[in-house]
Chains A and B, each alone.
Chain A
Amino acid sequence: MRAPRFLLAIPAWAWLAAFFVLPVATVVYFSFGYKPGIFGTHATDVLSLDRYREALSPTFFTTFTNTLRVGVLGTLLCLVIGIPMAYWMAVKVSPGKRAFLLALVIVPFWTNFLVRTIGWQVILAPEGWLSGMLQALGLRENPLAILYTRSAVLLGVVYNYLPLMILPLFVAFDRVGPAMREASKDLGANRWRTFTRVTLPMARPGIIAGILLVFIPLMGDYITATVLGGARGNMVGQLVASQFQAAQNWALGSAMAVLLIIVIAVTVLVGAAIAYVVTWPLSRARRLRLADLEGLPEKVR
């Protein structure tokens, strides 16, 4: 007799239940509670939606808008930089060098995330070596003034998250394989057409994975933004953390966390809807049906 197939999935389900479902459920439960006193963090004997009313303050919206801007811009930048890089690695580079390049993409992950980000702080400081070098070379008159600006935040985001974009894109481009590209060329498509009509659409799952892998953790990350953006890097993740750590108000913090989860889910859905609406007419216009070929001369048919 064979063992039932779901046996293999039990560790995964147990993991998800213990480390995802249960904590999120606890957070949701706490969010209906309240803070009982200076030394209490949460109480749930009276449940209400009051914490959500408190959480939906102008502070939350301002901070959230800033977070969303960093999230969307950062993800787009990673995508724009990641696609050519991943395509080059998957298609143009010889397989021998490929492993080396992949290793180069991954190596930064061997160092602690915070240390890498603080490293950028040192590089970008107005009196850091980069600023000094640019001034010495006569490329800049004044000290570099990029640290604690939004540009510095985006630079840090691209640096920290680019590998998460490149890896799924690389896998996706790699899986398309040379056969499809050759077939496309044989059928008369030039390189650009092959890329946009064949390779890119086929790499779609990788593109979606890359976008989600970058966008979602980025929305919860506040280390990169505060280390490099200072006051300009105020992120909603920090707002949530401040309720847990400084205010010791776990109920309000939980309500904010739940709102954040909801808003991110909605953003992802809206993004998917927009992508669908934009690409739908394109794919319709490009669709080739044999029935449409009626009017063409005999030879072509």
Chain B
Amino acid sequence: MSHPRRSRPVRVLAHASVAPRIMAEFNRRQFLSVAAALGGVGLLSACGGDGDGNGATPGADATGRATGGELESQLSIYTWGDYDSPDVLERFTEELGPEIRLDSFNSNEEMIAKLVAARGTSGYDIVVPTGQFIPQMVENDLLEPLNKDLIPNLEHMDEAFLSMAWDPENQWSICKAWGTTGFVYDNTVITRELKTWNDFLDAAQNEASGRTSVLDDPAELTGLYFWANGIDWTTEDEGDLQAAEDFLVGELAPHIAAFDSYPGGSAIPQGTHALMQVWNGDARIGIMESPDPDRWTWVLGAPVTQLWMDNWCIAKGAPNIEAAHAFINFVLAPEQVIDQVDYIGYHTGAKDVESMAEEAGLEMLDLVFFTPEQIETMKEGEVNSAQQRIVDIWNKMKAAAGA
């Protein structure tokens, strides 16, 4: 008997009653291979873009500002993953009523893409963008102005974290949490003391070669080079960007073991790397989880490093705008602040939060709170014309590291 290898007609001697079954069998096999081809391509085309629809109903009073009227029964918050204490959220619903629906994003870009695509009908009430994205969000009509009369707890905020460059009058945003970038090293592998970004880069190319991870974020990578070399990390100058590319792609890439934004989750507790670029709150979680915390040394990036600040904002067209104001006011109250700091490991910008945290006995507070001199060395990022260029550098570096 022949087999259907070349799609020539197949002749089978069989009883008439089983003939249809045999025919079906051969067709099914051919179908299997074709279906596999189609199915595979279908999967491929699915990678990338996010769905826009989230089934939420657009608000009727999309244009009306909050007046302090009755709270709606729901509240929808679109924020970074695992970024609020569940206790605080529960208390809000218990005390004030609205049920909270949480949704999370991985990058500002992802969140903005969703808001842009929805054009005011996203159904989200509260969004939490990083500061430098706020001016363009306002310009593109993605945010509602805040009614500060409904947020009296604003008085519990530290002045230092209000009136930031991107929103000088806090018309659109109030600090939710802020943090910075530094690095953690294994002092059993790197026995000298590391103090600056230049030390980081040097160790990465020597003792920690092949055991170094960097943040999986374009601006953090070019930032690494700019911070170490005294260049403004918001530069749009092609010469600076080219120099960053030459160093990161040509020299640093071969020494990098991983691009990992959250080494605190597993790399530090499991001792996977010897040197890791890391955000302060994540470093704290990682070191606290480690079976041998003394092995890890945290260094705040120096001579300069970044300051990122995520902010409470209200999305354009928010269907539950009263509840959104009530929630922002609620989380700013001193009673909620400690639970938030304890849960996320970042400074919330509240007044006296440091002494409150000390009283509450929270651990490793040097990774949460910084001295005014340290804060002086931290600089906010910017979204500018270099965005595509730094994403290209990031991709080139990843390609070079993987080659």
Contact = CB atoms under 8 A, between A and B. Distances in A.
Nearest to B249: A59
Interface of A: 16, 19-20, 23-24, 27, 35, 38-39, 41, 58-59, 62-63, 65-66, 118, 121-122, 125-128, 147-148, 168, 171-172, 175, 180, 201-202, 204-206, 208-209, 212-213, 215-217, 219-220, 226, 229-234, 237-250, 253, 257, 260-261, 264-265, 268
A219 B45 CA distance: 11
Given A125-B271, A127-B270, A217-B44, 8 more contacts: A20-B38, A62-B400, A66-B399, A216-B37, A231-B398, A232-B401, A234-B398, A249-B388
Given A175-B25, A205-B29, A230 B403 contact: no
Contacts of B42: 19-20
Contact of A220 (B43, B384, B400, B403): B43
B3 A244 contact: no
Contacts of A65: 403
Interface string B272-289: 100000000000000000
Contacts of A261: 41, 44-45
Which 6 residue pairs spanning A and B have beta carbons closest together?
Answer: A216-B40, A230-B258, A234-B402, A231-B401, A247-B391, A125-B270
Given A125-B272, A205-B29, A246 B109 contact: yes
Given A125-B272, A242-B395, A245-B109, A38 B385 contact: yes
Given A27-B45, A148-B257, A261-B41, A59 B32 contact: no
Nearest to A201: B3
A23 B107 contact: no
A268 to B, nearest CB: 7
B371 interface: no
A14 B257 CA distance: 46
Contacts of A212: 33, 36-37, 40
A233 B402 contact: yes
B151 interface: no
Contacts of A265: 41
SS of B interface (majority): helix
Contacts of B32: 168, 171, 205-206, 209
B30 interface: yes
16 contacts: A20-B42, A35-B388, A39-B139, A62-B403, A63-B402, A126-B272, A168-B36, A208-B33, A220-B44, A226-B259, A234-B399, A239-B398, A246-B107, A246-B109, A247-B391, A261-B41
Contact of B107 (A58, A118, A245, A250): A245
Interface stretch (B110-118, B161-169, B335-343, B349-357): B110-118
Contacts of B113: 41, 248
Nearest to A60: B399
A230 B257 contact: yes
Contacts of A27: 45
Interface of B: 1, 3-5, 25, 29-30, 32-33, 36-50, 106-107, 109-110, 112-113, 116, 136, 139-140, 213, 218, 253, 256-260, 266, 270-272, 383-385, 387-388, 391-392, 394-396, 398-403
Contact of B218 (A20, A246, A249): A246
Contacts of B139: 39
Contacts of A240: 47-48
B33 A205 contact: yes
A125 B266 contact: yes
B338 to A, nearest CB: 31
A59 B399 contact: yes
Residue among B39, B48, B253, B394 having the largest count of chain A Cβ atoms under 10 Å: B48
B44 A264 contact: yes
A264 B271 CA distance: 38
Contacts of A209: 32-33, 36
Nearest to A148: B257
A242 B394 contact: yes
A128 B270 contact: yes
A41 to B, nearest CB: 6
Contacts of B388: 35, 247, 249
A20 B272 contact: no
B395 A239 contact: yes
A171 B28 CA distance: 11
Given A38-B385, A206-B29, A216 B43 contact: yes
B13 to A, nearest CB: 13
Contacts of A206: 29, 32
A213 B33 CA distance: 9
A89 B387 CA distance: 54
A16 B253 CA distance: 42
A205 B48 CA distance: 31
A246 B106 CA distance: 10
Contacts of A58: 399
Nearest to A176: B3
Contacts of B44: 216-217, 219-220, 257, 260-261, 264
Contacts of A244: 48-50
Contacts of B140: 39
A247 B271 CA distance: 32
Contact of A230 (B43, B260, B270, B400): B260
Nearest to A279: B5
B45 A24 contact: yes
Contact of A234 (B45, B213, B401): B401
A229 B392 CA distance: 21
Given A66-B403, A125-B272, A231 B218 contact: no
A168 B29 CA distance: 10
A243 B49 CA distance: 9
B40 A62 contact: no
Contact of B47 (A213, A257, A268): A257
A289 B20 CA distance: 30
A204 B5 contact: yes
